[in-house]
Amino acid sequence: MAAAQQRSLGDRERFVAFAFAAADLLVEVGADGRITFAAGAFRARLGRTPDSLIGRDAADVLAPEDRDAFAAAVALLPPHGRLGPTAFRLADAARTVFSVSGLQLASADAGPRLCLAFAPMPSPPEFRDNDGQVLLREATQQLRAGGQAKIGLLEVKGVEGTEAETRIGRLLGSQPGNGAVAARLAPGRYGVVPDEGGALPDLCGLARQLETLLGPDNTGVSIVATPIDLANDGLTPAQAARALRHGLAAFARFGSDGLRDAGFSDGLRGVVARVTSRAAALRRTVAERRFRLDFQPIVDLESREVHHHEALIRLEAGVLEPGEGPQDFIALAETIGLTEELDLAVASMAIAAANAVPEGRHLAFNVSGLSTQSRGFRTRLLALLDRDPRGAQRVMVELTESAEIEDEDTAAATLRALRGRGVPVCIDDFGAGAAAFRYLKSFPTDYVKVDGTFVQAALTSERDRSFVAAMVDLSLAVGAKVVAERIETEEEAGIMQSLGVHYGQGWLFGKPGPL
């Protein structure tokens, strides 16, 4: 009788059973990125029923600090239709590391969908050097949403580059809970942003845990904890986000002293006031062209012949304060709304210099994503190109993502207009932010430049090598060639070439200098 009551399994049930043999959680995602089916140990892992996740964004299952990486991984699906096992942290208090794999399917009735399987892994991931981007995005999103964001900064002096720093990163990565995001901004310098509406973790308690972790032998170590209220104080969300970016950059470079010098002790308004006090001098620097362009070669990895050069800004003595570099100047220009003028000045000098470039080669100059969203900038840049047709035939534009592009339609129109003049377009620092994958889909693109952190991590990380290979596949799918930056050794060059990267840039091939 029992046998008579049994029924045959359908394909869906059979495949679900097979999947559960290797995974704790199963999720099916529709074309809009929202969950259409969920099954498994969600109640035990996340304290939620599978049904409560239906209609939610699939990234909600993951920790906030891994959601951008997940979006990037999903963006890489089209070339293969498959997401290989990849480590992500769940949105539970312990930030449990799971291996996530997926397969993209298409059906006539439901359209494309993504089937994801989550299986536990034994060890947590380590912080990356560019985890500060995650922290900045989380705080910026809260600022733009009008929330009263907070941030906690920890400087641990005396552990840079030691095994102790690795242990600190792991502790901070598992500590925050309640949706908080922790990240390393620089060696020995960390930040924590609570979930929207949440409380900032007890920084003094964290400092005590760090002291216990480091033990009594680390007598040369000191810990400085700084909680900061990011109240807008009348600033627009854009102004607040730019001030935050500048303040975090100062902390990453100079620690707690940099915070004070940047005006952060008075909140975001203090940062704006500090930068504004330098605005007149910065405007004169741009207007008087108190900078030059150095040029770094980008070579064909197979032939080692120079393919093109990138123009890099170098400031005259006395323009910057002690310890500042070109990137600090660019961040300052962005904070006071000087980005368009700076980009146009660099473009003018690069177009003039390109007249000396042999026919068939190009000279690349950077344009901020902020500038591409301005119709006035587009008109003035096209006028520069039209006034110097010979130089215009020998330049290309690298789109930088110092700030996320909000008006993608206007930015795309700017890039299309450039390509209409015969100017190739390169997306810079590809992989550093999830938005870059969206740009590859939305913007006309001839080249993609892989962020240097992936290049150097590929020496020791199979995951990073796979990620670079997937970037190459995705770029080829849209007709773009790939450049790898920050190549310093023959080993790095060989790995990049083996992964399908076409061109390389770095000290191995030449330092920036005269053209």
Residue 32 lies in a domain: yes
Q: Which of 88, 120, 152 is the last residue of a domain?
A: 120
Q: What is the DSSP string of 233-270?
A: TT--HHHHHHHHHHHHHHHHHHHHHHHHHTTGGGHHHH
Containing domain of residue 17, as a range? 2-120
Same domain, 306 and 379: yes
Residue 500 lies in a domain: yes
Same domain, 337 and 430: yes
Same domain, 48 and 139: no
The residue among 347, 354, 309, 314 whose CA lies nearest residue 330 is 314
Query: Of the spans 55-64, 179-188, 333-342, 345-354, which averages the highest pLDDT?
Result: 345-354
Query: Of the spans 19-23, 232-236, 502-506, which averages the highest pLDDT?
Result: 502-506
CATH number of the domain enclosing 86: 3.30.450.20
Please, how many CA atoms are within 13 Å of residue 155, restricted to the half-sphere of its CB? 15
Same domain, 479 and 375: yes
User: CA 295, CA 290: separation in Å to the nearest integer?
Assistant: 17
**Residue predicted with more confidence, 252 or 365:** 365
Q: Which two tokens stand for residue 70?
A: 């997940």
Q: How many domains in the chain? A: 3
Within 8 A by CB and 6+ apart from 246, the residues are: 262, 271, 275, 331, 332, 334, 335
Q: What is the pLDDT of residue 49?
A: 83
Same domain, 151 and 272: yes
Q: Which of 233, 251, 276 is the last residue of a domain?
A: 276
Q: What is the model's pTM?
A: 0.70
Q: Which of 120, 154, 186 is the last residue of a domain?
A: 120
Same domain, 115 and 206: no
Same domain, 245 and 141: yes
User: CA 372, CA 405: separation in Å to the nearest integer?
Assistant: 8
Q: What is the pLDDT of residue 9?
A: 40
Same domain, 218 and 311: no
Residue 281 lies in a domain: no
Same domain, 144 and 223: yes
Quick: pLDDT tens for 414-470: 999 999 999 999 998 876 655 667 787 788 899 999 888 888 888 887 777 877 887
What is residue 88's three-state secondary structure? strand
The residue among 273, 214, 225, 232 whose CA lies nearest residue 251 is 225
Query: Of the spans 197-211, 274-288, 307-321, 341-355, which averages the highest pLDDT?
Result: 341-355
Same domain, 209 and 314: no
